[in-house]
Amino acid sequence: MEPRNDRIRRQDRILTDRARIEEVLAQAKVLRLGVVDEGRSYVVPLHYGYEWVEAEGKASLVFYAHGAAEGRKIEVLKKNPKVFVEIDYDMTVVANDPDIPCTFGAEYASLMGDATATILTDTEEKIHGLKVLMKTQTGRDFAIPEQMAAVTAVFKIEGPGYSAKSRPKATGQVPMPKKSGGMPEA
Q: How confident is the model over 3-38, as pLDDT tens digits?
A: 555 555 555 556 667 888 888 898 899 999 999 999
Q: How confident is the model over 109-146, as pLDDT tens digits?
A: 789 899 999 999 999 999 999 999 999 999 999 999 99
Question: Hey, where are the domains in the chain?
Answer: 11-166
Closest CA to 148 of 69, 30, 51: 69
Q: How confident is the model over 35-65, as pLDDT tens digits?
A: 999 999 999 999 999 998 988 888 788 999 9
Looking only at the bridges linking them, the beta strands covering 58-67 and 153-158 are antiparallel
- Would you say 179 and 185 are in contact if contact means Cβ atoms under 8 Å apart? yes
Answer whether residue 178 shows pLDDT above 80.
no
Looking at the DSSP bridge assignments, the partners of residue 178 are 184
- Would you say 129 and 156 are in contact if contact means Cβ atoms under 8 Å apart? yes
| Per-residue pLDDT at 8 | 56
For residues 5 and 168, the model is more confident at: 168
- Would you say 88 and 108 are in contact if contact means Cβ atoms under 8 Å apart? yes
Q: Which fold has domain 11-166?
A: Pnp Oxidase; Chain A (2.30.110)
